[in-house]
Structure 1
Amino acid sequence: MLWHTTKSNGQSASLWKPLFMLLTIFATPLTYAANAEAARVLELSDRFLEVYNQGQWLVMFYAPWCGYCKRTEPIFGQVAQELHGLNIRVGKVDCTRFTNVAREMQIRAYPTIMFLKGNAKYVYNGDRTKEDLVDYALRMSGPPVQMVTRPESIDMLKGSHTIFFMYVGDQQGVMWESYYAAAENYQQYGFFYATTPDIASQHFEFEHLPAVLVYKEELHHLYPYAHVAHEMDVSAINDTIHHWVNVERFTTFPKITRFNIKQILLTKKFLVVAVVEEDKLNQVATHELEFRDMVEGVIRKHRDRYHDTFQFAWMGDPSLAHSFILDTLPTPHLIVINSTTEQHYIPDDEPLKMTPQAIHVFLESIHNESATPLGGDTYLVRIRRVFFEAKKGLLDMWKGNPVLTTVIFGLPCGFLSLILYSIFCGDCFVANDEDDDHEKTE
C-alpha cells in the first residue's frame, strides 16, 4: 500500500511538472517587467545626505503607511524607466526609517517629490502623472533657457510640448535679461527656449525684434512689449514679463486638480469653472460633457474678449468646488472664483439650460461689478469653512469605512459618557443612600 501511494504521488508530480514549467515561462516576463520598474528607483538611506549635491536627483520622500505614496509608487517607477540613460538619478527615501533625511530636507507631507541639482532644492507641485513628472525632470535638468539651432527642432518642440516660450533676437539687453529671469523663476512650470530670427521666421509670425512668444495648442501669442523694452523702465519690463508668463503658462481650458489649483489661482484672474463629475475611470456623463464643451467653446471663440480678465477651466472633482462655495451643488454647474478675494459667483440660470449668450451676460455682470459676490476670506467665512471641511471629512470617512469611523468616534464618546455618568449620577446615588440611612436612623 505504501509503495502504491508513492507511485501515485510520483505520477502526479510528473503530470504537474510541465504545468509548473509553462506557468514559469509565462510568468517570468511579467515578473521581470514589474521588477524592472522598481529596479530603476534607488532605495536611498541616510548616506544620501552625503551625496545629494553631487549630480541631479529626482527623489520621492515617502512613508510606508501613506496611501497617496502607495498610489504614486508605480507611477514613479515608470518615470524612472523613462529617465533611464539620462544624467538624472531617481530614488526614494523612507522617512520613517531615516528621519534625519526628512528633517534635513524639511519634509512636511507625504509624498514629497523633489528635484535636487547641486545645492538647489525644488519641490514638485504638479499632477502626479508619468508625463508631468518626466517633463518636470527634463525641464529642471537643463538650463533655464535652452538654445534652438535648427529649424526642424521647432517642429519637434511643437510635437512634444503643449506649451513652450520662445525668445527671438540677440541674446543681450534688457528684454533678454528679463526673459532669462522669468525663465529661472518659472522653470518648474514651463519650457523656455531662444533662437535666431532666421529660424523663428520659418514657424512664427512677428514684426519686430526682439520678440517673445508663447506657443500653445497650435497657436502662438506675442508678448506685447518686447520690441519697446529698451524704452521702458527695467522694473516695469520685469513685472510685465513675469505676469505674462505666469498667465500664459496654462492652456486655454485646463483641468483643475488639487495639485495645480493653487498655481492657477496665482493668475489673479476670475476663474470660470465648469464643474462635472468623473467616475473612477475618468469618464463623464454625456449631458455633463456637453455642458463642459459648451463652456469651453465660449473661451475658444472669444479668447480676445475674455483672456485678459478670465481664466476658463473645468473640474472633474466637485468636492474641490464645494470647498470654495461651502455648499454642495448637483453637477454640472458653473462657478466663477475671484482668485484675489476668494469670493465666488453662481449664475441664477439652471446650468443645463444655459446657453453661450447666457454665459456672456453672466460674465459681463461680473466684469462690471453688478453681480453679487458670495463668500470671501472674512473671519466668519473661515469659521464656516472649518466646520464645512470637518463635516465633509467625517462624511467621507463614514462612506469609506463606516465600521472604522464608528470605532474611532464611538469609543471616545462611550468613555466620555461613562465619565460624565459617574460624575453627575454618582452624586445622586450617594445622596439617595444618605437619605435611606437617615430614614433608618429615625
Structure 2
Amino acid sequence: MVSLVKITFFTAFCAIFANTAASRVLELSDRFLDIHKEGQWLVMMYAPWCAHCKRLEPVWAHVAQHLHETSIRVGRVDCTRFTNVAHSFKIRGFPTILFLKGDNEFVYHGDRTRDEIVKFAQRLSGPPVQEITKSQSFDTIKRDRDVYFLYVGEKSGSLWEVYRRAADVFQPHAFFYQSHPHVVGEHAPVQKAPALFVYKENCHYNFTGHDELDFEKLNSTLHEWVNAERFPTFPKITRGNINQIFLTNKNLVLAVVEENQLEEVSPDMLEFRDMVEEVIKKKREKYHDDFQFGWIANPELVNSMAMMVVPLPSLIVINTTTSHHHIPEDEPGKLTPHAIEMFLEQIRNESAPKFGGNGWLVRIYRSWFEMRTTFSAMWKGNPILTMVLFGLPAGFLSLICYGICCPDILDADEEEEEYSAGSHMKKD
C-alpha cells in the first residue's frame, strides 16, 4: 500500500513538473515579427504533423525550464497557422531552431538534446569573448565546459585581434574567454603573455603560431587551429555533429559500436571503443594534426558512408576532404593498438587501399544503396505497410500505362477488321 502511494505521488509530481516545464515555453503568433528584435529569443519553428517536432517537444520544455531564470526567452511558432513568420524567417524544414539577438539570426544544427541546445543558447547570449575577472570562476567553467578557448593578456595586438575574429565566427560552436595572468594563476600554464590555450580533458594545449608576422597568415592559422580544436579528443559522433567535424578536413577515425535503447554499450564493444581511444590519448602529438578520433553508435550512418554493412564493432577511417574511406584488413577482433597505429601510418603515407569518394558513379551507387537499405528496414519493420506504400503507386502506374497503350491496340484491331471486310467485298 505504501509503495502504491509512493508511485502515485511520484507520477503526480512528474506530471506537475512536466506541465510547469511546458508552461515556460511561450506560444508565439504573427505578432512575434514585431518584437523578435527585442531581447534574446530561442525559438522552435514547428508543424503539428511533424514527427520530429513531436519528439522534440519534451526536450524543448526542459530547455525552457533550464533557461527560465536567464534573459533568454524560449518560445515556439506553429508555422502551419502563422505562415507569415515561416516566410519571414525562410523556414525550409521542421523543426528549425533559431537564436535571435537584435538583427543577428543563428540556426542550430546540432544534436536535439537539452544540454546541447542550452549550450548553444548560452554561447550566443553573451559577447563572443567573455572576460574572466575572478580566479574562482575557472573552477565553475572547467566543471561546466568540456572544451573552451582562453586568451591570456591585454586586449590589444595582432593575436588578440585574430582571436576576437575567430570568436565572432565560431561563437555558435565554442566558448571563448579572456583573462589576465594574475587572474588565471594556476588554472593555466602561462609563462609569457599574450598566450592562447584550448582546454579539454583537464589539459591545456597551447597555440604555437604566435610568431607569424603576416597578419593574414596569422589569422588563417588561428582560424584553422580553432576549427580543429573545438571538439573533444574522442567525441561521440552523431548526425547532429558529423557535418561540423567534417569541416576539420582531417581523417576521421571512427570506432563503430552499437547502443541499446538505454544508450548502453555492450562490454565487448566498450572494450573495443576504449582500445581505439587509448591510441589517440597516448599518441596525441603523433596523430592529432592528421586525425580526428571519435566513436559512433549509429551503424546505419556508417553503412551509408561505406556503402556496405560494416560488422560490429569495427574501425573505419573517413577522409573528410575527398569522402574516401579506409577499412583495416585485419578483423576487428584481432585489432590491437599496434595494428591500428600501423594502419594509420599506411593512411598517412597513402599506401592504404581507399574506397568510395565523390565520383558520379559512387554517388549513384550510394543513392541506390541507401534506397535499398531504407526499403529493407521498412520491410522488416512492417511488410504490410511497405506493400501498401510501394504497391499502390505501382498499381496506379500500371493502370496509367494500360490506359495509354490499350487504345492503340484497339484502334489497330479495328483497322485490321475494316481492312479485312473491304478485301472480302472486293473478292465478292
TM range (shorter): over 0.9
Letter of the 1:415 partner, please give it: F
Inter-CA distance 181–361: structure 2 relative to 1 (3 Å threshold): same
Structure 1 stretch displaced more, 253-262 or 396-405: 396-405
Give the structure 1 partner of residue 168 of structure 2. Answer: 184
Partners of 1:167 and 1:193 within 8 A in 2: yes
User: Paired residue for 1:351?
Assistant: 332
The Cα offsets for residues 260-290 of structure 1, whole Å up to 9 and x where unpaired, read as: 0000000010000111111222122222111
Give matches, 1:132-143, under 5 Å. 132-143=116-127
**Equivalent residue runs for 1:203-242 within 5 Å:** 203-226=187-210, 228-229=211-212, 232-242=213-223
Q: CA deviation at 1:193?
A: 0.6
Q: What is the CA-CA distance between 1:403 and the residue it aligns to?
A: 2.7
- CA–CA separation in structure 1 for the residues paired with 2:325 and 2:10: 57
Amino acid at match of 1:195: S
Q: Which amino acid aligns with 2:309?
A: T
Question: Residue 97 of structure 2: SS of its match in structure 1?
Answer: strand
**What amino acid does structure 2 have at the position aligned with 1:340?**
T
Q: State the shift of 1:436 in Å.
A: 8.8
Distance in 1, Cα, partners of 2:77 & 2:37: 16
SS of match in other structure, 1:201: helix
Q: Which amino acid is 2:168 matched to?
A: E
| CA positional deviation for 1:30 | 3.9
Query: In structure 1, what is the Cα distance between the partners aligned to 2:364 and 2:154?
Result: 54
Structure-2 separation of matches of 1:308 and 1:239? 16
Q: Is the 8 A contact 2:135 2:185 kept in 1?
A: no
CA distance in 2 between partners of 1:162 and 1:196 (Å)? 21
Cα distance 1:430–1:178, how it changes in 2: closer, same or farther (>3 A)? Answer: closer
Q: CA deviation at 1:107?
A: 1.0
Q: Which residue of 2 aligns with 1:10?
A: none
Equivalent in the alignment of 2:47: 63
Tell me the residue number matched to 1:46.
Answer: 30
Cα distance change of structure 1 residues 244 and 23 upon mapping to structure 2, 3 Å threshold: closer
SS of alignment partner, residue 187 of structure 2: coil
Aligned CA distance change for structure 1 residues 24 and 208 (closer, same or farther; 3 Å): closer
Q: Which runs of 5+ in 1 are unaligned?
A: 1-21
Cα distance in 2 between the residues matched to 1:434 and 1:132: 73
- Secondary structure of the residue aligned to 2:186 is coil
Is the deviation greater in 206-215 or in 362-371?
206-215
Instruction: Give the C-alpha shift of residue 416 in structure 1.
Output: 2.3
Letter in 2 for 1:387: W
Q: 1:314 to 1:147 in 2, by over 3 A?
A: same
- Long gaps (5+) in structure 2: 1-5
Q: Does 1:290 align with 2:274?
A: no
Preserved CA contact (<8 Å) 2:325 2:355: yes
- Paired-residue identity, %: 52
Q: Which residue of 1 aligns with 2:295?
A: 314
Q: Deviations over 1:107-137 (max 9, x none)?
A: 1111111100001000011111111111111
Superposition map of 1:378-397 within 5 A: 378-397=359-378
Q: Which whole-Å CA distance do the structure 1 matches of 2:14 and 2:56 have between them?
A: 20
Kept in 2, the 8 Å contact 1:57–1:90? The answer is yes
Amino acid at match of 2:26: L
- Residue 81 of structure 1: aligned partner: 65
**Does residue 246 of structure 1 match 2:193?**
no
Q: Which residue of 2 aligns with 1:416?
A: 397
Residues 121 and 293 of structure 1: is their aligned pair in 2 closer, same or farther, counting only changes over 3 Å? Answer: same
Q: Distance in 2 between matches of 1:164 and 1:323?
A: 32
1:160 corresponds in structure 2 to: 144
Q: Matches of residues 362-377 of structure 1 in structure 2 within 5 Å?
A: 362-377=343-358
Deviations 1:56-115 (A, max 9, x none): 000001111111111111001001001112111000011111111111111111111110
Measured after TM superposition, the shift of residue 204 of structure 1 is: 1.5
Distance in 2, Cα, partners of 1:57 & 1:432: 72
Contact 2:302-2:310 within 8 A present in 1 as well: no
The question of 1:330 aligning with 2:324 is answered no
Displacement of 1:409 in angstroms is: 1.4
> 2:272 touches 2:313 (CA, 8 Å); kept in 1?
yes
Rounded to whole Å, the distance in 2 between the matches of 1:24 and 1:372 is 61
Superposition deviation, residue 425 in structure 1 = 6.0
Match of 1:262 in 2: 243
What SS does structure 1 have at the residue aligned with 2:154? coil
Q: Whole-Å Cα distance in 2 between the matches of residues 434 and 172 of structure 1?
A: 93
Partners of 1:151 and 1:202 within 8 A in 2: no
Distance 1:24 1:340 in 2: 55
Contact 2:251 2:320 in 1 (8 A): yes
* Residue 125 (structure 1) aligned with residue 125 (structure 2): no
Query: Per the alignment, in what secondary structure is the counterpart of residue 73 of structure 2?
Result: strand
What secondary structure, in the 3-state scheme, does the structure 2 residue paired with 1:126 have?
coil
Instruction: Check conservation: 2:149, 2:175, Cα contact below 8 A.
Output: yes
Q: Distance in 1 between matches of 2:195 and 2:7?
A: 62
SS at match of 2:397: helix
Alignment size in residue pairs: 418
